[in-house]
Amino acid sequence: GQNIDQPTEMTATEGAIVQINCTYQTSGFNGLFWYQQHAGEAPTFLSYNVLDGLEEKGRFSSFLSRSKGYSYLLLKELQMKDSASYLCAVMDSNYQLIWGAGTKLIIKP
C-alpha cells in the first residue's frame, strides 16, 4: 500500500530551527510537496521537489532523497506565525496526491 509518515507534533522555540521529516512509500513518484495549513484554513503551497537535493526558499528549505524515500522541511528563524500544521504529499505514478497526516508545529516564545 501507499504510505506517508511524518511526526504528529513538534515543538520549537521562536528564533530557532526545526526540521520536519517525511518518509514515503508510494506507487511511483512524480514529486513531493509541502503545504502549510493554519487551523481552520485551507493549505497553502510551500515547496515542490522532484529531484534529489535541497531547495531553498527564504526561511524555508525542502530536501529530497528519492532513493531513501525521504524528505524534510527545514524552517529557520522561527516566528510565532509559523505555528501551523505542515503537510507532506507525494504525487504517485497516476499523478494522484497521497497525503500525510500532517505535523502540528507549536512555536513557544
Binding footprint of other proteins on the chain (CB under 8 A): 30-31, 33, 40-45, 48, 87, 91, 95-97, 99-102
Query: Which residue, 94 or 109, has its beta carbon nearer to other proteins?
Result: 94
Q: Name the residue among 31, 52, 44 with its Cα closest to residue 87.
A: 44
State the minimum distance, in angstroms, from the CB of residue 31 to other proteins: 6
Contact 101, 3 (CB under 8 A): no
State the minimum distance, in angstroms, from the CB of residue 15 to other proteins: 27
State the minimum distance, in angstroms, from the CB of residue 45 to other proteins: 6
Give the span between the Cα atoms of 44 and 46, in whole angstroms: 7
Query: Which residue, 40 or 58, has its beta carbon nearer to other proteins?
Result: 40
Cell of 37: 495549513
Cell of 9: 507534533
Query: Which residue, 15 or 50, has its beta carbon nearer to other proteins?
Result: 50
8-state DSSP, 73 = E
CA atoms within 13 A on the CB side of 4: 24
Query: Which residue, 42 or 80, has its beta carbon nearer to other proteins?
Result: 42
